[in-house]
Structure 1
Amino acid sequence: MPTDSISGNIVEHLRRTAQQLPKQLAVLSANDSFESKTFESLFKDVELCALFFIKRGINKSDRTLLMVKPGYELIISCFALIYIGAIPVIIDPGMGLKSICSCIKRTQPRVLIGSKFVILLSFFLRDTCSSIKEKVTIPEKLSYFLKLRLNKKEIPGNSPSQDSDLAAIVFTSGSTGPPKGVRYLHKNFNAQIQSLKREFGIQKNEIDLTTLPIFALFNPALGITSVIPKINPRKPAHADDKLIVDAILFHHVTTAFCSPVIGRKISDYCTTHNLNLPNLRRLMLAGAPSPPDLLQSLSNIAPNATVFVPYGSTEALPVAYCDHGKIYELTESIRSGEGSCLGTAVKGAQLILVPPTNSPLPNEHEGQIELISKPNVTGEICVSGEMVTQGYDRMPGANRDARFIYMSSEFHRMGDLGYWDIQGNLRFLGRKAECVNTKNGPLETERCEQIVNKINGVNRSALIGIGNSKDQEPCLVVELATTSTNFSNTAREILNSLEQNLQEFNIIRVFNEKKLPVDSRHNAKIHRLELARKWSGKVNKNPQLGILK
């Protein structure tokens, strides 16, 4: 397994792969929505697309808002922008128009690339789009359009880049705060590619089910084929489970990276139809904690695969990982509220824990930084390494809150709470912003929700706090497994279980939501703060609401 470091940018990686594996399929559609492409033809399309963008007035270093639906057009557009040295700005379309407008205003892109509808919409958002000077409509069947309209002899050489150059601005999903633009350098992409090879054993000639668009950019550097399934990126929970499994089987997929929601769809469909996935070598689930039963089920239907759970965020990925075997060993511990297992750090990542605080941490020359090294002591997870991005774009306050210097290295505060267990595994207890601060001490989401989720009739749950931020009342919001489940009986069972396991917190309220609100990117992160605001307002109007005893 090669371990030499990777340099250059993703376009240079694609060029090398096109030279080494010219006839290997690079990208194909699981539902035939576009023509399959070899690495050689993909690179030629990228060159033509780069020429098209140059002719439309896009220059090196131009911030370019890329509002193109996932698929082949998005892939070659992103490669083409990096080819000419422009900076793609990627905003999650599912975060809502208000948040999207806020992101655009802060980033101040000079160029907008999108569909006819996106370009038309921009004219009605003049204030938001005031920085945009060039608007480029992406035609349908872009590859055919490029070959028909452009002269290959005019193709320029790709713009050289340094590892420390800005490669892209990718916005967070904003699940526990406003979305923030994360500054990706070329070296960050390279570190992520290297980790995929080194930690997870991905090799050339493999076939990837690409449920996240960014992997279509990484895969050419790895020499593997991307199968693009029919999934609406704004609503992965609505994806057709049959189409996903059919794509895995028909295309002999060997590797896949997906959210727990997609993982559950694969598991349920295969279990119901008595199907196995023998060609899968690895399955990676990320975006939210994956329950042990899901990992065990996936490992049963993919007998030749390792199910990995990588840990990270938009700001730093991957940071740590573990596999289904380790999680299976810790099943009872996890289900009893001792936290999900994140495993151990990837090579090149330095993980530390610091006492939780909402205040900025001092840099080492400004004051002493306390570290938590003892097992079973909760702290905030912080990471340093090449996979850590350059920080937030044009948000100095957020950068000061999230970064600090320790031992001459810059650390990123993940915003997650965790601890080291006695085996040396990093355990995850929940988001710091979602921890409920009660009069009897802090109560983290994973300590409580895992206990509730194993109760029959509960699909998933959310711990929320209502009242004063320093003296909150902990409450549970549950999503029932079926509409026929009796909420009153289930709620009483929940309260009885919590009284046995978390008696000191005296939880007496349980609320019911038909569907818990989740993030747009993975459809897995529960919006607990949104629920807290909603139910706090309701309890203010009716103080007895949710009380069953």
Structure 2
Amino acid sequence: MTQTSNNANLCQHLANAALHSPDLLAVAVQQAKSDSYQYQELTFAQLHQQSDRLAYTLNAVGIVKGMKAVLMVTPSLEFFSLTFALFKAGIIPILVDPGMGVKNLKQCFIESEPDVFIGIPKAHVARRLLGWGRGSVKHVINVGGGVVQRWLAGCHSIDQLLAQHPQFDRVAYPMEKLADDQMAAILFTSGSTGVPKGVVYSHKMFEAQISALKDDYGIQVGERDLATFPLFSLFGPALGMASIVPDMDASKPITANPKHLFAAIEQYQCSNMFVNPALLERLGQAGEQTQHKLVSIKRVISAGAPATISSIKRFSQMLNDDVEVLNSYGATESLPISKIGSSALFSTTEHTDNGGGICVGKAIEGVDISIIDITEQAITSWDDALQLTPNQIGEIVVKGPMVSQQYYQRPDATRVSKIADTQANTMRHRMGDVGYLDDHGLLWMCGRKAHRVDATHPAPLPQRYFSIPCERVFNTHPQVKRSALVAVTVNHQVVPLLCVELDKALVCSTSKALYQQLLNIAQKHEHTQGISRFLIHPDFPVDVRHNAKIFREKLAVWAQKTWKE
């Protein structure tokens, strides 16, 4: 049985930085004005002091340890100060992705039952109109101005609260200490691959993520990170690294203006970048057009969805020759799990294009990856006999200190996604992804378990098709931008069908010729034989944040309605 302590709080890293590097930059937030830029800054000492003062102020108005607080504040100095204040006070932040849609957001607030709602004016207008947190929210705090006051009835302004309590200025806050596994935050999944679920985060998980960024990614004190994702940006101050926040909508990275990001990198000589595939592609295209170089960047971390080889190669043209794009694999429930550098990834291209899946690298330190048989049933306890041998495709199961132990208020989801490992006194997490480990211990991802197609057509045709191995084969066709494997029912039989989005920049051959070319591709590979139905879709539905996760469930409904034998 592992020993648990009551001494956990990730803000200890901020306190340590404020003590040893008080004047070092912690946060800078860019404001773009025409062709000029302004920056607001906080040192580690200032961020520590401001979050101390906010923690005291929240307590003074009745917001105390154990309460749950929705935080809908755009990346700003206030976002950093408030988040660290909540952690210091033992108040549980509820972090949601605004891009998940109104319906999903409301469901998140129903499930999490927040006591406090902290948000910008736009969030409060939505809260009032849509009933977010109705019945549970007791405290409402506005960050920023510029909204009709009737929408903010009973709402405290954070500036007013600070002005009412000047006695807390420069007074050290006695940071709350929690047990290692005690709930410290609730992070909701994006809902891009299913219903959003609240993941219970502990300080132990946060500490494991901080250790991974130090040890496996080599991030050091004094570095500066271009912070394009709010959650990752919080790790900056915890690592002694400055978070440089560009002027962009973090919930819609595809809309970012590359000029703003390049300007922020150059202004602060950023050494690190965290970018998702959509932003990687957008910045790479802009850099290619202007021949821009990112000479200060030493490390690029990409996560959220697999980035394409072409996107990585295009982006890499801006980097120094010895700088790699590190592709991280994981999920909200467990991140990071494995990583692979771009040079190693490039060598896997041929295998991927022939249906071998996407290589996501080796497990990081302290993480155990296993592959088990595909089943929809819950598995109550772990047994090493569940593991498949190398090169067998199954569900990916992970164990490690950054792996979440449960979902919030969703016991059924916890039951089917977690496996109790009694020997290790922990839970293993079923990723919901399928893949395999090769003979060298490299993990190859083959798509979501829910996106496989279990066909009922007769042997010797394949009975089971996996999304990524099948789609990547067809994506080698020069006219195919991307494809999506779905199941349709034809004459009472479940059969695979490939939805295809064409590259609009290329002249398309006739439908008959394209069909024959795709059919020829299918017949060349054992695992795609039997795919003989193709539908052209004008524009795939994809998630807002990554612009890469295809909503195959929507395409499956469309394909079933559209297909005619």
Same fold (TM over 0.5): yes
Change beyond 3 A, Cα 1:268–1:504: closer
Deviation at 1:143, TM superposition (A): 8.6
Percent sequence identity is: 33
Residue number among 472, 485, 505 corresponding to 2:494 in the alignment: 472
Q: Secondary structure at the match of 2:375?
A: coil
The one-letter code matched in structure 1 to 2:525 is: N
The one-letter code matched in structure 2 to 1:429 is: C
Change beyond 3 A, Cα 1:147–1:161: same
Superposed CA offset, 1:87-143 (max 9, x none): 001111111111111111111111111123333433344485211111111234989
Deviation at 1:309, TM superposition (A): 0.9
Q: Matched residue pairs, number?
A: 534
User: Is the contact between residue 89 and residue 170 of structure 1 (CA under 8 Å) also seen in structure 2?
Assistant: yes
The reply to whether residue 390 of structure 1 matches residue 405 of structure 2 is: yes
Task: Look up the match of 1:38.
Answer: 43
Residue number among 54, 59, 63 corresponding to 2:59 in the alignment: 54
Deviation at 1:348, TM superposition (A): 0.8
Superposed CA offset, 1:285-333 (max 9, x none): 1111122233333334212312111111000011111111211221111
Task: Look up the match of 1:314.
Answer: 332
Partner Cα separation in structure 1 for residue 534 and residue 314 of structure 2? 30
Partner Cα separation in structure 2 for residue 308 and residue 152 of structure 1? 46
Task: Look up the match of 2:394.
Answer: 379
Change beyond 3 A, Cα 1:127–1:450: closer
What are the within-5 Å matches in structure 2 for residues 269-418 of structure 1? 269-302=286-319, 303-364=321-382, 370-406=385-421, 408-409=423-424, 410-418=427-435
Deviation at 1:152, TM superposition (A): 4.2
Q: Secondary structure at the match of 1:464?
A: strand
Change beyond 3 A, Cα 1:496–1:231: farther
Partner Cα separation in structure 1 for residue 389 and residue 484 of structure 2? 29
Partner Cα separation in structure 1 for residue 58 and residue 100 of structure 2? 27
The reply to whether residue 151 of structure 1 matches residue 169 of structure 2 is: no
- The normalised TM-score by structure 2 is 0.88
The one-letter code matched in structure 1 to 2:393 is: T
Q: Secondary structure at the match of 1:338?
A: coil
User: Is the contact between residue 207 and residue 227 of structure 1 (CA under 8 Å) also seen in structure 2?
Assistant: yes
Task: Look up the match of 1:443.
Answer: 465
The one-letter code matched in structure 2 to 1:22 is: P
User: Is the contact between residue 42 and residue 77 of structure 2 (CA under 8 Å) also seen in structure 1?
Assistant: no
Change beyond 3 A, Cα 1:400–1:438: same
Deviation at 1:73, TM superposition (A): 2.3
Deviation at 1:182, TM superposition (A): 0.1
User: Is the contact between residue 287 and residue 293 of structure 2 (CA under 8 Å) also seen in structure 1?
Assistant: yes
Residue number among 56, 61, 67 corresponding to 2:72 in the alignment: 67
User: Is the contact between residue 278 and residue 304 of structure 1 (CA under 8 Å) also seen in structure 2?
Assistant: no
Deviation at 1:470, TM superposition (A): 10
Task: Look up the match of 1:547.
Answer: none
Change beyond 3 A, Cα 1:361–1:33: farther
What are the within-5 Å matches in structure 2 for residues 423-438 of structure 1? 423-438=440-455
Partner Cα separation in structure 2 for residue 57 and residue 294 of structure 1? 49
Deviation at 1:151, TM superposition (A): 1.1
The one-letter code matched in structure 1 to 2:499 is: V
Change beyond 3 A, Cα 1:127–1:521: closer
Partner Cα separation in structure 1 for residue 203 and residue 280 of structure 2? 30
Task: Look up the match of 2:11.
Answer: 11
The one-letter code matched in structure 2 to 1:21 is: S
Q: Secondary structure at the match of 2:226?
A: strand
Task: Look up the match of 1:234.
Answer: 251
Alpha-carbon RMSD across the aligned residues, in angstroms, is 2.6
Task: Look up the match of 1:3.
Answer: none
Partner Cα separation in structure 2 for residue 203 and residue 34 of structure 1? 23
The reply to whether residue 25 of structure 1 matches residue 25 of structure 2 is: yes
The one-letter code matched in structure 1 to 2:418 is: R
Partner Cα separation in structure 2 for residue 149 and residue 485 of structure 1? 66
Deviation at 1:433, TM superposition (A): 0.7
User: Is the contact between residue 310 and residue 318 of structure 1 (CA under 8 Å) also seen in structure 2?
Assistant: yes
The one-letter code matched in structure 2 to 1:20 is: H
The one-letter code matched in structure 2 to 1:30 is: Q
User: Is the contact between residue 57 and residue 168 of structure 2 (CA under 8 Å) also seen in structure 1?
Assistant: no
The one-letter code matched in structure 1 to 2:350 is: E
User: Is the contact between residue 93 and residue 234 of structure 1 (CA under 8 Å) also seen in structure 2?
Assistant: yes
* Greater CA drift, 389-398 or 528-537: 528-537
Deviation at 1:502, TM superposition (A): 4.8
Partner Cα separation in structure 1 for residue 370 and residue 560 of structure 2? 35
* Greater CA drift, 266-275 or 96-105: 266-275
The reply to whether residue 536 of structure 1 matches residue 560 of structure 2 is: yes
The one-letter code matched in structure 1 to 2:361 is: G
Task: Look up the match of 1:249.
Answer: 266
The reply to whether residue 518 of structure 1 matches residue 542 of structure 2 is: yes
The one-letter code matched in structure 1 to 2:378 is: P
- The normalised TM-score by structure 1 is 0.91
The one-letter code matched in structure 2 to 1:500 is: K
Deviation at 1:34, TM superposition (A): 5.5
Partner Cα separation in structure 2 for residue 86 and residue 33 of structure 1? 32
Change beyond 3 A, Cα 1:135–1:145: closer
Superposed CA offset, 1:409-436 (max 9, x none): 3210001111122332111101101111
User: Is the contact between residue 465 and residue 528 of structure 2 (CA under 8 Å) also seen in structure 1?
Assistant: no
* Greater CA drift, 50-59 or 205-214: 50-59
Deviation at 1:513, TM superposition (A): 3.0
The one-letter code matched in structure 1 to 2:482 is: R
The one-letter code matched in structure 2 to 1:278 is: V
User: Is the contact between residue 95 and residue 173 of structure 1 (CA under 8 Å) also seen in structure 2?
Assistant: yes
User: Is the contact between residue 185 and residue 390 of structure 1 (CA under 8 Å) also seen in structure 2?
Assistant: no
* Greater CA drift, 426-435 or 407-416: 407-416
Task: Look up the match of 1:259.
Answer: 276
Change beyond 3 A, Cα 1:261–1:127: closer
Deviation at 1:395, TM superposition (A): 0.7
Gaps of 5+ in 2: 1-6, 32-36, 147-156, 457-461
Change beyond 3 A, Cα 1:435–1:77: same
Task: Look up the match of 2:152.
Answer: none
Task: Look up the match of 1:134.
Answer: 139
Deviation at 1:499, TM superposition (A): 2.7
User: Is the contact between residue 405 and residue 418 of structure 2 (CA under 8 Å) also seen in structure 1?
Assistant: no
